[in-house]
Structure 1
């Protein structure tokens, strides 16, 4: 397998073979990332392809001194998936609005004791909208306000999904013990 630096140099020269090698090398992890946002394989692939297109178009902006390539690429693809979600006004998800009087408590992270592989298995058991918000909050470290901005939904809706994810995951965890 080619060295990542060689592949990136080829991508900077717009070589199709290098772009394909980069795409194939990171496809499994990007598929897992986008699966957190979408149910349909077509949507997952669209998000990956949109993100990788941005990676290829902006490869010259990647600065190794600022961090690892994987993190830059992962963030670029995640942002492409969020953009695709935001642009899909016709898509309907079951968002439930939570009001302040309903109470939203607990900043506990239900994933603290799990490995990466376990987390994705448990996330797949959640409804897609709840899984999406749960992943952004607990795994990607987005604040509630950042999720509101990224998905274009209300703060109460985000809080409801976080509360719902904790309740559902608690049941899932208890069954697996």
Structure 2
């Protein structure tokens, strides 16, 4: 999508034109679906998170400031935060996470996804268990700290570290098989 075309669509969205809103939604749906799939397995939950996020995008479009960054980044963050809110509201994470009581040592800040293309990342992430995928997505793809993830998901920092360690271990095995 060209910058001029995006600006036209955004202008239409600001005027609350349904056609422009639909164009914007359809344009970014695939990447937002991939984002929300990192938090939910059920397609209904994925679409609900996208819809909740896009409603916030449309409602708060006047708050977007191009001088502070690209529209895509603002929209992505808005939808990601809507997904995290839905997760908290569903209160299902208590069933997804086993709290780790002992101190777990998380060794590396190295990002296993650094050299991969987006489509490859999506394939590898989909092979992780849902709880581990949530934590890994927030840490490696969105740059959240261990503390921020613990707060966002209402789990202990030790549990976050365990999931990061688990993701590295599982991904190492997956990467070795694909070579």
TM-score (normalizing by structure 2)? 0.93
- Tell me if the contact between 1:95 and 1:129 (Cα under 8 Å) persists in the aligned partners: no
**Distance in 1 (alpha carbons) for counterparts of 2:7 and 2:22:** 14
- Structure 1 residue 90, shift from structure 2 partner: 4.2
**Distance in 2 (alpha carbons) for counterparts of 1:93 and 1:134:** 14
Which of 24, 27, 48 is 2:26 aligned to?
24
TM-score (normalizing by structure 1)? 0.94
For the structure 1 residues 164 and 96, does the alpha-carbon distance in structure 2 shift closer, same or farther, using more than 3 Å as the test? farther
Deviation track 1:84-113 (CA, whole Å, cap 9, x = no partner) reads 11111145214341521x433222221122
- Tell me if the contact between 2:99 and 2:156 (Cα under 8 Å) persists in the aligned partners: no
* Aligned residue in 2 for 1:120: 122
**Distance in 2 (alpha carbons) for counterparts of 1:79 and 1:127:** 21
**Distance in 1 (alpha carbons) for counterparts of 2:79 and 2:124:** 22
* Aligned residue in 2 for 1:95: 98
* Aligned residue in 2 for 1:33: 35
- Structure 1 residue 47, shift from structure 2 partner: 0.2
* Aligned residue in 1 for 2:48: 46
**Distance in 2 (alpha carbons) for counterparts of 1:153 and 1:45:** 25
**Distance in 2 (alpha carbons) for counterparts of 1:113 and 1:7:** 33
- Structure 1 residue 117, shift from structure 2 partner: 1.3
* Aligned residue in 2 for 1:152: 154
How many corresponding residue pairs?
176
**Distance in 1 (alpha carbons) for counterparts of 2:110 and 2:98:** 22
Q: What are the ranges of 5 or more consecutive residues in structure 1 without an aligned counterpart?
A: none
For the structure 1 residues 52 and 58, does the alpha-carbon distance in structure 2 shift closer, same or farther, using more than 3 Å as the test? same
For the structure 1 residues 98 and 131, does the alpha-carbon distance in structure 2 shift closer, same or farther, using more than 3 Å as the test? farther
